[in-house]
Structure 1
C-alpha cells in the first residue's frame, strides 16, 4: 500500500522528533564521537554549543534538546570534557549532569551524585531563569528516593521557571507511582490536580494519558488472566474519559506546539489501539507520519515493528 511504502512515512525511531537542527547534530555527533581525539571533542562541543546557547531561549525546546542529547551522550566522554573545559557554560554543566544521571539510571546506581548536584546548582547560579538544572535535580532526587517534601520543592523550582515543563510533570508522575515513592491514590490525586489547572494544549497535557498507559502496563505485567483482560482497562470511566479528551483534540493541525508533541501523539495512537478504537487512531497515525518513539511501543516488543503493525491495523481496519 502507498501509505506503508511511502518514504516520507516510513517508520523510524527518532528521539529528536521533528527538531531538524537536533537531528542534524545527532547525526554529526554519531559520526565523530567514536574517535575520542581532542579535536573531535572540540568539534562536538562547538556543535552542541551552537544549538543550545541561543540568545532567545525556548525553555520547552531547550529541555527537549538537552534530554535527547543527555541520552545520546550518556556513555560518551564529551559532556564531562565540555563541563571541565568550560565550567562557566550553563549548557555544558547541565548536559554533563543530565548525561551522568541517565547513565546512573540505566546502571541502577550513581557513580557520583554530588557531582551531578554541584553541576546543577552552579548552572542555576549562573542562569537563575533556566529550569533545566532543576529538572535534573528533580530527576536526581527521584532516583535517590528522597522524601516528598524535598521532591515537591524541586518540582516547584522548575514550575516557577517553566510552568508547564513536560519533563518535570512526567518525572513527578513516576515518583508518585507505587513502583517508586507513592501509591495509586497519589497518582490519581496528582493527575486530577494537573488536569484541573492545565490548558488542554500545554506541554504537560499528556500527564493524564501517560498515567493511564502506565496503569494499563501494570496490569499487563501481572500476566495470566489479568493480562488477557487488560484491554478492559480502557472501558473504565477515568481511562475512557482521558482517552476521549486526548482523541478529540491532539491530532488537530497546530493544536500542540511543544517540542515533544509527536511523542504525545505516539502515546495517543498506542492507547487508542490498545482500546480497540482503531477509527480514531487512523488520523493520529497520519499526524505522526513515521516518527516513532521507543516508549510506549517497546513494551510489547520491537517498537518499530509494533508501531508498523498497529498502523497497518488502524489503516486497514483489521
Structure 2
C-alpha cells in the first residue's frame, strides 16, 4: 500500500492528468487484487484510495458485465468528489459507472458537465463520452461524429484529448469492416476522404515531435496514430511515429488485428 501511495504521490497532486493515468494503470492491474480494498480500509478518507478502489471495481465490472455493488462504488466516488472538489477523477469514474449501468441520459450529461468544469480537455473523460455516444452504447456513429465535430474548432491541437478525433475515424473504419461485404472491402477508402486525410497529415507531422504532447498517455495516442496510418496505407508517414513510440506497445488498438505485439511488429516492419 505504501508503494502504491508513493507512485501516486510522485507528482504535484494538482497534476490531475498524470495522477489519473497512474490510477488507471494501477486499477487495470489490481482489478482482481485485494490491495485497493485494503488500502481504503486503512485510509477510508484518502481520495486516491477511494478512486483507485472504485476504478478497480469498474474495471472488474467491465470484464464481468456488471458491478458487484454499483451503489457502494458510486458513493465512494461521491465521497472522493466531496473531499477533493477540484479533482475530475471521481467524476470520470462515475461516468464509467453510469455507462455500465445504462443510466438515464440526464445523469450521464450531468456528470459530463462536472468533468469539463474541472478539466476542459480531460482525456479519459472525452474518450468515455465518445464511446457512450457511439453505436456500441446509447448512440450511433453519427452522434459520435457530431460530438467530435463540436470539439474540433475549439480544442487545442495538442490537447490531452486530441486523439478523440482519430478515435472516431477508427470507429467508422471498424464499423464498416464489421458490416462485411462491400462495406468491408471499401473500409480503407474512408482514410482518403479530404477531412480525414488532412487530419492524418497534420497528426503525422506534429504528434511525434518530442515537445508536442505533454499528457501522460502520449504513447497510447502515438500507437493509435501508427495503427491508423498503417490502416490507411500511409507507411512512409507511419515510420517516424513508430520511431517515437520506441517499442512501447499498447494493447489497444493493435488487438483488433490479433496479438498486439505481433500486429505492432508487422506494421513497424512494413513502415521500415
**TM-score for both structures, normalised by structure 1:** 0.82
Gaps of 5+ in 1: 1-44
Match of 1:64 in 2: 21
Alpha-carbon offset, residue 171 of structure 1: 0.2
One of 68, 81, 96 as aligned partner of 1:139: 96
One of 78, 95, 98 as aligned partner of 2:35: 78
In structure 2, C-alpha distance between the alignment counterparts of 1:85 and 1:279, rounded to whole Å: 53
Match of 2:199 in 1: 242
Q: How does 1:189-228 map to 2 (within 5 A)?
A: 189-228=146-185
In structure 2, C-alpha distance between the alignment counterparts of 1:291 and 1:167, rounded to whole Å: 20
In structure 2, C-alpha distance between the alignment counterparts of 1:149 and 1:233, rounded to whole Å: 33
Alpha-carbon offset, residue 55 of structure 1: 7.2
Q: Which gives a bigger RCO, structure 1 or 2 (Cα 8 Å, sep 6+)?
A: 1
Match of 1:47 in 2: 3
In structure 1, C-alpha distance between the alignment counterparts of 2:172 and 2:150, rounded to whole Å: 18
Alpha-carbon offset, residue 105 of structure 1: 0.6
Alpha-carbon offset, residue 46 of structure 1: 0.7
- Given that residues 94 and 120 in structure 1 are in contact (C-alpha distance below 8 angstroms), is that contact kept between their aligned partners in structure 2? yes
- Given that residues 233 and 239 in structure 1 are in contact (C-alpha distance below 8 angstroms), is that contact kept between their aligned partners in structure 2? yes
One of 150, 155, 158 as aligned partner of 2:112: 155
Alpha-carbon offset, residue 253 of structure 1: 2.2
Distance 1:55 1:170, change over 3 A: closer
Cα deviation code 1:17-49 (max 9, x no counterpart): xxxxxxxxxxxxxxxxxxxxxxxxxxxx11111
In structure 1, C-alpha distance between the alignment counterparts of 2:197 and 2:169, rounded to whole Å: 9
Cα deviation code 1:68-109 (max 9, x no counterpart): 111110011111111122111111110000000110011111
Larger Rg: 1
Match of 1:267 in 2: 224
Cα deviation code 1:111-140 (max 9, x no counterpart): 110111011011111111111101100111
Which segment is superposed worse, 79-88 or 48-57? 48-57
Alpha-carbon offset, residue 244 of structure 1: 2.4
Distance 1:291 1:54, change over 3 A: closer
Alpha-carbon offset, residue 217 of structure 1: 1.2
One of 98, 110, 117 as aligned partner of 2:74: 117
In structure 2, C-alpha distance between the alignment counterparts of 1:133 and 1:106, rounded to whole Å: 20
Gaps of 5+ in 2: none
Match of 1:102 in 2: 59
In structure 2, C-alpha distance between the alignment counterparts of 1:86 and 1:253, rounded to whole Å: 39
Question: How many residues of Structure 1 are paired with residues of Structure 2 in the alignment?
Answer: 271
Which segment is superposed worse, 303-312 or 109-118? 109-118
Cα deviation code 1:221-277 (max 9, x no counterpart): 223443232211212233323322312211122111110111111011100010001
Match of 1:27 in 2: none
RMSD: 1.3
> Hey, which bits of structure 1, 4+ residues long, moved more than 6 A?
none
